[in-house]
Structure 1
């Protein structure tokens, strides 16, 4: 069952955000509490008809077929502000070297993370029967960057982090510094992955993308005991590829 809600915000530029809430089949039948998985790029989470590009993760079907006992909060992206909201800092030097151009985007990620922690999560926890201390956070590409940032800033809030094909390179220098100085001992599990063909036929760019992810994971594994990273052979940067990795989103259960 999907519930569509709008969350007012004093932190986001659009002053509100659409969120789709998946409730498990047993929610109406059993009066117990459930863990919550928060996800970015919400249009691409549940159904192809809503997805940007026409291919989603197909998560509602997956959850129903596997009878997983979890609430999922899919936060819609503001497409015009996505780069700003998912990058905690202005686009950095490493990104400019990889992409070959400058950018004046980025830097609003702190407010977006604060929106999740101070506006969205309290609403979810008071409206639905949740396990407030068992929140998980997952993201893809830039969603992986903002997920790791949020984990570092609010490690007492998010216990499980799942990031797929993370675009850490956009803020490579700053995210590495943040991980190094953060206490992540309260995080119970971390899963990250990266495809070997993230940039398609551009082998050089794919290797740089992979190196970016590996560098961050080398820091994470020193901080989180239960941390796992997978190199996906042949994996690309498309939702057709991400959909194959959907089971990894729920290994924390």
Structure 2
């Protein structure tokens, strides 16, 4: 029975850690959450090794370490918060370990996303607002909102079809560049540069870059460098899309 409890604890802890990494959590938070789950389940001497591509965990009394691969990564801070809330409920003995695991499964299988129309509106408002903040160009506010909205739509659509984030970012940035230049050409905007700067902001990998710095400062050098390279690749994809259009047009 104790062996079964140990297997269930490791399964639950690895499940929680994988969900957190997949949705943008920093490595230190993941490691801390896994260790707390193990300690609250009666295994205070757990050993955990976490990277952004996989988690390894073992505890005394178990024959083998177990590994949980991480194959996808996105940004969903609500999922991270819900995993933390479940961990606290387990620590307070409001739910059992089996209930904890079942709720994690439900969270994984039935994710709650903001509807596409709300994502588009949010991307548009963010684009226009940041264009004003960074460039102070009030006349181009509305056209920047519209182009930022369309750019996020391109990113979302390509990502759904190809499942390659860098390709989605490249094509979305290229689309933004074309629309910005056309907007100025037909006198719908005054500065293509200002419109582009605002419109690409929803695509900028701010969370991965922040987590890369936090991981490096926390001593998680492998994950920090990997996240930094991921953020750099996103920045290159966005910059290449814009540069190609500016060169061509």
> If you compute each CA radius of gyration, which structure gives the higher value, 1 or 2?
2
After TM superposition, the score normalised by the length of structure 1 is: 0.26
Instruction: Name the structure with the higher strand share.
Output: 1
Instruction: Name the structure with the higher helix share.
Output: 2
